[in-house]
Structure 1
């Protein structure tokens, strides 16, 4: 598995956030302790002659111990969790200690809601920051020791909404193989498509197996159950001649020929079309593409004969068999379909013969 890349800027940013977390925690914990000391100074039944500073000094150790106890117990819990233990006892004791400190601040300052919310909220905030910080450091330690999986790429809410199944599969693939976002999504889509085809094919294979024992339902069930239809589907998909299917379908969806025999082409094949004593020149695109050299024309006729012998053959196969381009094969097909390759003579030779015949008309009786 490829390790996730972490550049220096990410490490610096992480250390800065960690230092800031310590600062916030210390300030919040100090505020919570001050609130508890305040309650202890005002609420406890102190002698009237006892000065305020002495009261605060007496209450200070107990207030600090309450907040510090929650942190110490949470630290023990974090250490045991890194070793794979649940540490429920330490975690419960830590939560109880912090709950006591928060309750003292809320109940002790109940007459002033602002103070109750501020000091109670500081205690909750301090403890929450500590739990989140310790949990993050514990995950980092476990990940460094190879006991925790790497974090997957962030695919975003839009991607999760559009393709939840593919994104879920991509997340797993990224964790297992270290794929990037695009690699994992591409592989996930391919796997899901393959699984869909396999499931549909497996249903047909099972139906076919059962149909071979239609007279004995029990035997049909045994045959269908013992046959690994998924493996059969995989083997069948591997054996399918995709190129052959593509050629067959391509031959069936050939577009209709745009060039149809025109009056000029029919007159040219008959050899007696005239307009005012002059032969009319065929002006179609197909006629202009036919070779004027006899050798090239004979070559076209030979290829057209091959097309005639095998009507289902595609232009690509004809081109590969006779060493011409697919475009030339299509031109030959158009010319042959239009009847322009029926004569052994090129169209130019036939036009010349027509012109000579018009120049020397037969004598009238």
Structure 2
């Protein structure tokens, strides 16, 4: 069979190929082979068999009309927390990986959430990498409720979706886990009220005592394991002489969360109480009902060798501190998280020990 090809010149072209039975076949190569070309000339054109598209060198990167090969929404990486009814803070993102990038540009886009509405995922305009890369979507807005916020994205000729979990508005923020108090260290005022700031929110605590003694210099009696508090503490636990349990309550004017409890040398030393086992319990209430499901953890647990040790036991509503051998013990800091409450109840058997409360968050 004869093959015909027509070559003609036009004013605006160097060469014209006219053929109705055949096409133009440029050089074909993989991405690896393409990248092995040393100093490609601007305008060099080829067909990339890896990406399945035509590409040309623009003196800086390889450009083309091909799409990325894959968006990996299944491996999306979420950063930050989204809470129902609360404006999403800065820095909340979802990062999606892709493969088969071709160096071409892509437009910015904003996608509204479905399911839980009120959120948007924003992708700024940019350029695909050559090969593998990531796309970062910034999440903004105030979600309409808790549950799943869904986003369907389409970029580089590919489509996929991802889901962000929106937590209930009644869940406290993530706590500060440092030993030092970053919130309000409640000041002792006797039976009465104390007011302080918790992240710019004014909080008032009403303190009441029953069979509890208070020492103004208790902040100097730690064994060196915990930092000394900068102010006079709420009080020291003193059970009465007749072996009666002492009680202290702190009632707050608004819901609080993420409390750190500092116990300084909790125990019994000398006197008629020496050798007894002393325990203290700390529980939390909301609207007069004990709060269950609190998460309690040690921030610092230190017991000098000349002291007996303190045992921490988690309970449904709080935790107990127990002096195992009835003599002076070391210091302990406990962080209770996960629930809002408006009252602290502190009970102690005969003995002594400075107890301090640091309020981390407030509604």
Output the TM-score relative to the length of structure 2: 0.23
Normalized per residue, which structure has more helix?
A: 1
Q: Which structure is larger by alpha-carbon Rg, 1 or 2? A: 1
Normalized per residue, which structure has more strand?
A: 2
* Larger RCO, structure (CA 8 Å, separation 6 or more): 2
